[in-house]
A and B are shown apart, each in its own frame.
Chain A
Amino acid sequence: MATAKTTLPNAGPVTGSRSFLSRLRDGDEIARLVTMVFAATVVLITLLLVYELWTNSALARAKFGLHFFVTQVWDPVIDQYGALPFMYGTLVTSAVALFIAVPLGIGAAIFLAELAPPRISDTLQFFIDLLAAVPSVIYGLLGVFIIVPLVRTVIFPGLNKPLGFMPFFKGPSYGVGFLTAGIVLAIMVIPYIISVSREVLLSVPRDQREAALALGSTRWESTWKVVVPFAKTGILGSIFLALARALGETMAVTMVIGNTPTISASLFSPGDSIASVIANQFTEATGDVYLQALVELGLVLFLMTFILNGLARLLIVVTTQRGSGVPV
């Protein structure tokens, strides 16, 4: 690693002896400016987004203040709005999705990267890339036609009978609800976890594996104790990518969550999410406060994504400092 670093060219522009004109002629300066503008647009778009969400929710922010975060009522008739049930729904469905998708996704990635013959691995990767490109409304339909009846007739009785004493598995079940939305989201984000994790695992240097094997470890031990920890940062990254997708998913969630702003411990209860309620009500929202409350919900979702991303960064920094084998 150290030797690679010394041979790296200086990333900054070469300044000093050459005149501005000659650098311009060589294209260095132009390339630098053009790419810098492109990079700056990312920041610009983010700032614009926050600015728009902030100014277009001024009325609602002034009217509800911080109560917006703790109010459960969403009533367009009397113009009272609160974000709590939607925030709850967004978090619960995403949590359920990750709970299912993380073990499945990472397991599949380990198989594809470490254990499967290359031909099978590449073929399966093709299908995974295909799955990642399927529009979310298709997953929504899959949810409506397969998972909703499955939850109502198979999963609910299966979980409710032995575990019904726990609040998470209380009935009744209509088929739609937090769990159904979570399952559909899990199916949607698994391809992301597999795809990114597989790439990360494949990029672990061969020496690492060989060293572990040479020390007498089995194939699985070298995979689980050496390769996976080495790739931990990248795998965590894939999980956060999946989380971001789950938090913001709109169409598929709307189709299976039941669209009822409730806070219930039961996973079978119908609920609602931030993205879903915005998509549902934005077009026919009459009245300024109503419209602005929806925009404020968008701001809340942005904030949630921002905070979760920040926590993710923190987690990566903390775990890598403990020395997971990944060079910082």
Chain B
Amino acid sequence: MKRIALLVAGVLALGAMVWAAQSPLVINGAGASFPYPIYSKWFDEYHKKNANIQFNYQSQGSGAGIKQVTDGLVDFGATDGPMNDDQLKAFQDKRGSAILHFPTVLGAAVPTYNVPGVSGALNFTPEALAGIFLGKITKWNDPAIAGANKGVNLPANDIVVVHRSDGSGTTYIWTDYLSKVSDEWKSKVGKNTSVNWPVGLGGKGNEGVTGLIKQTPNSIGYVELIYAAQNNIPYGAVKNSSGNFVKADLAGVSGAAAGAAKEIPDDFRVSITNAPGKNAYPISSFTWLLIPQKIQDAGKREAVKGFLKWMLTDGQNYAEALSYAKLPKEIVEKEKKAINNIQ
């Protein structure tokens, strides 16, 4: 028996040595699904440049990302909505150090609709969007909508509201925006990855919302900008805080981040919906990587820091090809300094 045990131990040790010599350093992460396409591109490109480092990312949703990094199951997390104070405290209590937010790219939510007889892009004021989603504006020819769309023949039909049924970062951005522009929305509904909607039907995912809107005359909903752009879905313009109607595009989304850059706190936990700036698109948001401030393993620590530096410089060039908005310069500089906080 002894001999067999020795043999098994020997084989295992040998195997471990061979495995350690050949396999790269693996860094595991989990979280938001919205940035998954660009993250997988980044991790792939970074692995090509640094063969000894491999990032593994599971897109399981922001909630799962926060939970798993807090429980120490993964080395980093990713989220579409910043962690709240309770979650920060929970992380501090469990892991004995702080967690840092690093914005990576930007996304946006756009209003999309199906109104018979209307082909061009409609203009929406914040009041109109809040009214529609609160169920207070019920007809398409309501003055709140018609006033911003002079010359468009809007029907007197009932509005059908469509929202996401699954928890989603897009819903977070949308409800965060409505909470900022409407006190009634803020007190009655609030913001979260899913909320208690006053009216409307739910569709699962961007494709579910789009499907419902296409099939239901007189409907309105919201989808991710990327999804609308890649699938040629028509969407409307939204009035920003400077009073301009802006139809979302990547420049407008980056513009929102640049407009908000001055007021961005050192921990980057900030909502940039309704940001100042003439061309800023108001329903924009960062998506974040969640990195523990203390990383015990020196190899992993340096790998993470190296990746963050690369992501902020060369990595940003991959964003627009995948329809993500780049970080503005101001934010990049600020984040580069923040990388030094990782110990």
Contact = CB atoms under 8 A, between A and B. Distances in A.
A260 B215 contact: no
Contacts of A284: 61-64, 166-169, 193-194
B197 A260 contact: yes
A281 B194 contact: yes
A283 B203 contact: no
Interface string A246-260: 000000001100111
A71 B185 CA distance: 22
A176 B201 contact: yes
Nearest to A280: B166
User: Main SS of the interface on chain B?
Assistant: loop
A148 interface: yes
B202 A259 contact: yes
B35 interface: no
Interface in A159-218: 172, 174-176
Interface stretch (A75-83, A113-121, A234-242, A306-314): A75-83
B129 to A, nearest CB: 18
B216 A175 contact: yes
B66 A74 contact: no
Interface string A216-245: 000000000000000000000000000000
A272 B194 CA distance: 14
B166 A174 contact: no
Contacts of A255: 204, 208
Nearest to B193: A284
Interface string A277-294: 001111111110001000
B66 A286 contact: yes
Contact of B62 (A282, A286, A291): A286
B196 A74 contact: yes
A283 B196 contact: no
B63, B81, B216 — most chain A CB neighbours (10 Å) = B63
Interface in A62-86: 73-78
B211 interface: yes
Contact of A270 (B33, B62, B86, B201): B201
A153 to B, nearest CB: 10
Nearest to A261: B196
A157 interface: no
A174 B195 contact: no
B260 interface: no
A283 B202 contact: no
A291 B168 CA distance: 15
Interface in B158-199: 158, 160, 165-169, 189-197
A255 B193 CA distance: 19
A272 B196 CA distance: 13
Given A77-B192, A77-B196, A284-B62, A174 B201 contact: yes
B60 interface: yes
Contact of A259 (B63, B165, B189, B196): B165
A82 B78 CA distance: 30
Given A74-B196, A75-B195, A174-B160, A254 B165 contact: yes
A231 B168 CA distance: 50
Interface string B147-165: 0000000000010100001
A74, A149, A152, A280 — most chain B CB neighbours (10 Å) = A280
B200 interface: yes
Nearest to A144: B211
A259 B201 contact: yes
Given A73-B196, A76-B193, A77-B191, A280 B203 contact: no
Given A175-B215, A259-B204, A260-B197, A78 B167 contact: no
A93 to B, nearest CB: 15
20 contacts: A73-B196, A75-B195, A75-B196, A77-B190, A77-B192, A152-B216, A176-B212, A258-B201, A259-B204, A260-B201, A276-B165, A282-B167, A283-B60, A283-B166, A284-B61, A284-B168, A284-B194, A285-B63, A285-B167, A286-B193
Given A276-B165, A284-B64, 12 more contacts: A76-B167, A77-B189, A77-B191, A77-B192, A259-B201, A280-B165, A280-B166, A283-B60, A284-B62, A284-B166, A286-B62, A286-B63
Interface of A: 73-78, 144, 148-149, 152, 172, 174-176, 254-255, 258-260, 270, 272, 276, 279-287, 291
